[in-house]
Amino acid sequence: MPRTRFIAVLLACMCAALPFPQSVGAQQIVVSPDGPVRSITAAIRSAAPGTRIIVRKGTYREGEIVVDRPVAIIGEGGPILQGAGDHQLIRITADSVTLRGLVFRNVATSFVEDRAALVIDGARNCAIEDNRFEDTFFGIKLARSAGCRIEGNQLRGAKSSQTLSGNGIHLWYSRDVLIRNNDVQGHRDGIYLEFTRAAQVLDNRSEGNLRYGLHFMFSDSCAYRQNVFRGNEAGVAVMYTRHVEVVGNRFEHNWGPASFGLLLKEITDSRIERNTFRENTVAIYAESVDRVRVTHNDLIENGWAIKIMANAQDNVFTRNNFIGNSFDVATNSRQHFSTFEGNYWDNYEGYDLDRDGVGDVPFRPVRLFSLLIEQHEPALLLMRSLLVSLLDTAERIIPALTPETLVDLKPAMKRL
């Protein structure tokens, strides 16, 4: 072996045997009420990129903390960032920041700005994990940000009134954001998305909010899976959006004169699949909705299971279970341009002579009485009367006023 090659091999072996030195990014700074570093702001100012800032248990009153470099701020023992009410607590302007284990407390209502406990402004790839937000106007707000993750946080609003409350998690002009396993209560809207693309909203619980559990507009190509939306005053609203996936969620106990399990308006090319709608005033309300596929959902004990307006076209409702609803389907016109096929209706009284699991007689899910309610809502007082039952029976036998085209030609005989 040539001498130069032998020396190179020997040096390589010696280097491999040496321990690899720690990088500058492994630096750690400890913040403590009685330590040498007593404020998070001071720690950030002295931190190099990649530094871990450990915040020990205590209460910190610092005004607005600006995180302008990629660091990880980790709370131990639930340190409290106490606001004076008139300012935000943390603003992140750098990419790749992590916040974990902090308690954000006391951000007062503002009528001139969306004042939030935590703001991510124009940053990418940030992670907000396992924090708690108490008595904050807005909880977490992202603006013009991308690739961030909001996971495992608890947000508790003051729950006073819609005008005095902000949103729990608020996204504006952002994209590729993951919102997972958060618990949001007592805000105006639990989760709000506007002008956001490709967001994933997974495994969250949004309950007891003053308006919508989830509210989003102009937010294309988003997916909402395995969430629970319960007891919100107006339910969930999805508006002016296309390519939406609503899969495996629970919409429960959203009661009130203007409450919905799921309100759809100006939605196109989307799918609603394997959800449970239980005990809502209206389970699904569809207005100006086109090319949406609604399949394998359970609609149980709602006031109205489906309210679909005449301006909804080319939608398909198939293999859904309609059980115990006051009205299975209601509409505002005799003309209809969507398809109902292969659903299970607990009010179906037909037969299946060939035993193929499909009823031999078509089912008309729109009751005559539901059309009367659309015109004269106080008539609901007569809902359980003998007269209404006779009218509905007569209309079912000889249809005259209910939509001729809104009929399930292949009703399922058993629950799907």
- Residue 403 has a pLDDT of 57
- Residue 370 has a pLDDT of 54
Share of the chain above pLDDT 90, in %: 73
List 185's β-bridge partners, or say none.
156, 207
- Residue 121 has a pLDDT of 97
Alpha-carbon distance of 164 to 136, in angstroms, equals 11
Q: Is the pLDDT confidence value at 369 over 90? A: no
- Residue 376 has a pLDDT of 54
Three state DSSP letters for 78-98: CCEEEEEECCCCEEECCCCCE
Query: Residue with structure tokens 């009751």?
Result: 367
- Residue 179 has a pLDDT of 98
Q: Where is average pLDDT lowest: 6-10, 50-54, 360-364?
A: 6-10
Q: Is the pLDDT confidence value at 19 over 70? A: no
Q: Is the pLDDT confidence value at 17 over 50? A: no
- Residue 9 has a pLDDT of 42
- Residue 190 has a pLDDT of 97
Work out the average pLDDT over 83-100.
Answer: 92
147-159 pLDDT, tens per residue?
Answer: 999 999 999 997 6
- pTM value is 0.87
Question: If you average pLDDT over every residue of the chain, what do you get?
Answer: 88
Share of the chain above pLDDT 70, in %: 83
Q: Report all structural domains of the chain as residue ranges with CATH numbers, in order of start.
A: 24-233 (2.160.20.10), 256-262+279-416 (no CATH)
Work out the average pLDDT over 71-90.
Answer: 92
Q: How far is CA 410 from CA 274, 324, 326, 400, in A?
A: 20, 20, 22, 21
111-163 pLDDT, tens per residue?
Answer: 767 789 999 999 999 999 999 999 999 999 999 999 999 999 999 997 677 77
Give the pLDDT band of residue 384 (cuts 50, 70, 90): low
Alpha-carbon distance of 168 to 164, in angstroms, equals 13
Q: Which two tokens stand for residue 282?
A: 């209206």
329-357 pLDDT, tens per residue?
Answer: 988 876 778 999 999 999 998 999 999 99
Q: Is the pLDDT confidence value at 110 over 80? A: no
Give the pLDDT band of residue 165 (cuts 50, 70, 90): confident
Q: Is the pLDDT confidence value at 362 over 80? A: yes
33-50 pLDDT, tens per residue?
Answer: 999 999 999 999 999 999
Burial profile 145-170: b = 16 or more Cβ within 10 angstroms, e = fewer: bbbbbbbebbbbbbeeeeeebbbbbb
